[in-house]
Structure 1
Amino acid sequence: MSDAALRKPRRWHILVFLAPAILIYTVIMIVPLAETLWTSLEGVRDGETRFVGLENFRVLFGDPRWSQSFWNALGNNFYFFAIHMLVQNPIGIALAALLSIPKLKGVAIYRTVIFLPTILSFVIVGFIWKLILSPLWGVAPGLLGTIGLKGLFAPYLGVEAYALTTVSLVSVWQYVGIPMMLVYAALLTIPDEIIEAAECDGITGFRQFWQIRLPLILPTIGLVTILTFVANFNAFDLIYSMQGALAGPDGSTDILGTFLYRTFFGFQLQQGDRHMGAAIATGMFTIILLGVSLYLFVIQRRIRRYQM
């Protein structure tokens, strides 16, 4: 048999099927990303756009007028992410564990009610919670008063110490259904034989979840973690709808997304600067890329070794 006959046939049909997706992804994602990276390396000098290298990043990190706002937004972003990691994801895992109880009735109703806020518009969510928390016409003071806790009420969205935490908890309320559904789906895929074997060994209840179920869903929890990280460092919409582009009071709720918006498009008396905006966007992309790389090449490998 000749060498030509032994050669594997070239599967050109694979490229044909992939071509539309690759083309759309390139136009929508790759080209804008490349344009943003290039724009961050340009600047306006003497009325002309010129290549300035890393000058925009030097200004962003070194000029007090820019660096103070940038580091404040970055710190707030990490706090925003920490609230979701410490509140949203544990609650989502706990809800998923409760919904996976075989004898629980009305599971479909509970799933729908918890997941419903996720599909609501961020404008609706932000507006509703601003009404609820308003000290003038909101229902929160009255509700706290009915249970004797009216003294705990404060204008949370108007106080620097509480504003970011309040907005973060509103975001948790809206999106807690996503980790719940992902973990719930992972719990349903655990083979019944494993659970039955654990019950035969007397491992039931919380102990069964901690020793048997939780290790088996660690890859899903890792996925939830990285999705939370990416979503939080791309966040913008809810804070914009609740606190405006200035992310008040006094920038206490300012994150990278709102800082990028004001810088790129301008706001009130602040003139937009697309080159500095592109530099901020490049910084956001770098942070997200580092976080995703850490998960893929370090955390995910350790999870696999743990399971083996």
Structure 2
Amino acid sequence: MRPAMNSVVKIKKQRDWKRWTIHLFPIPALLIYGMFVVYPLFAALTYSFFDWKGIVRGDFVGLKNFKDLFTLEPFSGLFWNAFGHNILYFVLQMIFQNGLAFILAYIIYKKVKGSEFLKIAYFLPRLLSVIVVGFLWKLILNPNYGALNVILESLGLEHLQKAWLGDPDTALISIILVNCWYGIGFGVLIFLAGLQSIPKELFEAAKLDGANGLSMIRKIVLPLMVPSFMIMTVLTFIQSFEAFELVYAMQGSQGEPYHSTDTLAIYFYRLAFGGSAGGSTTAVGLGSALAVVLFIFISFFTALYLRYMQKKQVDM
């Protein structure tokens, strides 16, 4: 009996060691996450309470940086200008990106001829780097030799030609529409997954009750697609208020022309790393305050929306 007991104890120790070994695998990922995500968040919070002379930390000033961000010009005006652009970013993405993504997902779900090709074609832009997409569309929208103006000229629509990224009225909208083109494939996949999770028996029962295409979408598809819409709304909201890479690739960090393409992330970059008033000076304290405000705003409204949608789902 003694050797058998030893064998059982040995096997148990091996299992315990394997169990603990499995828990060690996430540690490198957690260290990287802590270094590049958690630490910068706490560092920004700390920096926002101090005065800064360039990149040299000065005296503790409490909430002064937050006060200056909202009340002191030109910082206050630039902040609310960028905030309005982020709101517009979110609204247009919800309408064009997510609206079209749902329509395309429904077409693919209905197995229209060529739908498999469409599924691949709409997701292909997502495989490209955002920076590559930005530089590509910057060339396409060039007022002199860009493909868009050349096509308009060949179609006899010269009156529609514009300096798309040089006109304050069209610069931000052009960037947002490019972002929609880039992100629509991801939305199609999310909505398609939601459609495929709906039991086919519900559609068959609705047909027997005389439901047509529109009433079927309104009464069956949309209520059961609430989780998918919730996911896309949250992701779109976060992405809209963190918009940086595409704007930077297409227009740089100055929000040209005339701050018409400023977003909060671009404005933060300019405050923290130089050019806060169009020059090369830095405002690390103000930039950190802006980063904290942006983090709190996104976290609060995301949590509020998720809470509301979960309650609504329970009521349904």
Measure how far apart 1:237 and its partner are.
0.6
Q: Deviations over 1:197-252 (max 9, x none)?
A: 11221223232122211110111101100100001111101111111111210100
Superposition RMSD on alpha carbons, in Å? 2.3
Which residue, out of 111, 123, 128, partners 2:136?
A: 128
Measure how far apart 1:22 and its partner are.
5.2
CA–CA distance in structure 2, aligned partners of residues 148 and 163 of structure 1: 23
Q: Contact 1:229 / 1:291 at 8 angstroms: preserved in 2?
A: no
The match for 1:75 is: 84
Paired residues for 1:277-292 under 5 Å:
277-292=287-302
The match for 2:147 is: 139
CA–CA distance in structure 1, aligned partners of residues 163 and 57 of structure 2: 47
The match for 1:246 is: 254
Q: Deviations over 1:11-58 (max 9, x none)?
A: 996997386365554444322211111111122379753321101011
Residue 264, structure 1, aligned to residue 272, structure 2: yes
TM-score, normalised with respect to structure 1: 0.88
State the SS of the aligned residue for 1:276: helix
Which residue, out of 64, 67, 77, partners 1:58?
A: 67
State the SS of the aligned residue for 2:170: helix
The match for 2:285 is: 275
Q: Contact 1:263 / 1:277 at 8 angstroms: preserved in 2?
A: yes
The match for 2:304 is: 294
Residue 182, structure 1, aligned to residue 190, structure 2: yes
Q: Which runs of 5+ in 2 are unaligned?
A: 1-15
Q: Contact 1:182 / 1:220 at 8 angstroms: preserved in 2?
A: yes
Q: Which runs of 5+ in 1 are unaligned?
A: 1-10
Q: Contact 1:57 / 1:279 at 8 angstroms: preserved in 2?
A: yes
Q: Contact 2:271 / 2:283 at 8 angstroms: preserved in 1?
A: yes
Q: Contact 2:52 / 2:283 at 8 angstroms: preserved in 1?
A: no
State the SS of the aligned residue for 1:275: helix
Tell me how many residue pairs correspond in the alignment: 295
The one-letter code matched in structure 2 to 1:263 is L
Measure how far apart 1:100 and its partner are.
0.3
Which residue, out of 274, 285, 305, partners 2:315?
A: 305
Measure how far apart 1:70 and its partner are.
0.8
Paired residues for 1:141-160 under 5 Å:
141-160=149-168
Change (3 A) 1:241 1:28: closer
Q: Contact 1:219 / 1:300 at 8 angstroms: preserved in 2?
A: no
Change (3 A) 1:247 1:48: closer
CA–CA distance in structure 2, aligned partners of residues 300 and 271 of structure 1: 46
Change (3 A) 1:135 1:31: closer
